[in-house]
Amino acid sequence: MLWVLADTETTGLDTDPTARMCEVAYMIVDDDLNVVRSGGGVINPGCRIPPATSAVHGLTDRDVADAPSADEYFWSEFGN
């Protein structure tokens, strides 16, 4: 069996229903915890990243301006 471990950065807190992903990192591991695949990158959330949130994770609107949307990113990574 394979397992996916993921970490994300978002535009807001987990209590904010409008928060969107702006960075993702992942590892796919097998049952023995051997890394089968890993990756990650920035994602354009389609909205502004508030300054208070940028202060936490360091990502700014400029950092994600040319990045793919979440749909584009995940299709390019896992679409086939």
- The one-letter amino acid at 75: W
pLDDT tens digits for 8-66? Answer: 999 998 788 889 999 999 999 999 999 999 999 999 999 999 999 999 999 999 999 99
The whole-number pLDDT of residue 22 equals 98
Q: Sheet of 35-42: strands edge to edge?
A: 2-10, 21-30, 35-42
pLDDT attached to residue 14:
76
pTM for the complete prediction? Answer: 0.87
Task: In whole angstroms, give the CA distance from residue 45 to residue 63.
Answer: 11
Looking at 3.30.70.270, 3.40.50.1370, 3.30.420.10, 2.60.40.10, the CATH number of the domain 2-78 comes to: 3.30.420.10
